[in-house]
Structure 1
Amino acid sequence: MLHLQGETLGYGGHVVLPDVDFALHPGERVVLLGRSGSGKSTLLNAVHARLAAQGRRDLALVPQEHGLVPQLSVFHNVYMGRLDRHRAAYNLVNLVWPLAAERRQVEDALRAVGLAGMGRRPLGALSGGQKQRTALARAVHRGGAVLIGDEPVSAVDERHAAELVAMLGQRFRTMVLALHDVALARLIATRIVGIRKGRLVIDKPASRVGKDEIDALYRL
């Protein structure tokens, strides 16, 4: 599906991850672990960009800052997950007066993330956790085979975070997620990639990653 070999990743001329070797195969649930600033988001962005460049339409994204439009309702933010699948005139109709079929489909996605009945609410009326759930609902509404998520449940309590990630695992065959919760990572991951100071120091099946290896990722 994807193979980065000996690549240098960064932004604005700044190198974050030098000499990266990373492959992604269909059906994998890859979790990236590491301290803030280690390079997890940089790797996620590169993976998403390369998959999008392949012309994939089965790709959903949950960015760290949610990528929501504050001037729009919850419905419209979720509807935007499929914006590229319709003609401009159809999208305009749903911006002004959403069709019943689209409302039902968006409501299904909202129900999946625990926001049933909240489609008409303005985004600004939501809590941080509800906004994050809205971003998840947008990804669910888009659907597809691959999900890229950057701390997609960081604003949700532990129990609900586990439920949401399990739900995503049922809907997306392949996932690459950056998480801060090690227990949650072990619950969902088939493979763990650990990043420390700009280097991929762990890349193996989750069942073979020891506690000492994880602890070393977070040492100063």
Structure 2
Amino acid sequence: MANKINYAFRITHINNISHIAKCGIVKASSPLYDKNFQPIGDSQVINLRKSKVINGYHIGDYIPFYFGPRSPMLYVIQHGYNGVQRVEPEEIVYCVIKLADLIANNIECIFTNGHALNVFTSFYTKGNLVNIDSIVNYDDVYSSQWNLEEDRDLKRRKEAELLIKDDLPAKYIKGYVVYNEKAKQTLIEKGIIGNLIEVRSNYYF
């Protein structure tokens, strides 16, 4: 039986977890936005997304998630490439949400079959989320490599995105993934229940 895409992941700095656990995953424009939010990622890409309107969607207005771990962006963040500040893996946390919860509660979202800024990528409405496994390939988004000579499009497909329109309350976060036991202990000290935290070093580089 083929694996199914059941979850979506958003990576964040460990210092943001206390606020996320209380207020949820919120937009930069939200009244709940954390004034002490510690960003990770490529600021150039983030700014580009703010200015992009694709298929009528203002990409920067959405909160992006990936459907699998070990994204190319995580690789850049861990290694500090392209002018991106390097972040140690134990300082990066995955917030994990369940697609079934979004469907059941009619959460406003769209999703893609590849990186949202790529011209070859298609966009889908929330009504298609129940059919995600016929649109996004599990093996693509969970692939540990993406620069394959025989499949030049894999990197784009691996970066398929779930884009959530509004602030997502903390109750939708079903768990957290961290790099090691030290990071797990840090989350516990921040008030996260231990059985909600999974240590998976293979989700990192």
Instruction: Compute the TM-score of the two structures, normalised by the length of structure 2.
Output: 0.26
Highest Rg: 1 or 2? 1
Between structures 1 and 2, the one with greater helix share:
1
Instruction: Compute the TM-score of the two structures, normalised by the length of structure 1.
Output: 0.25
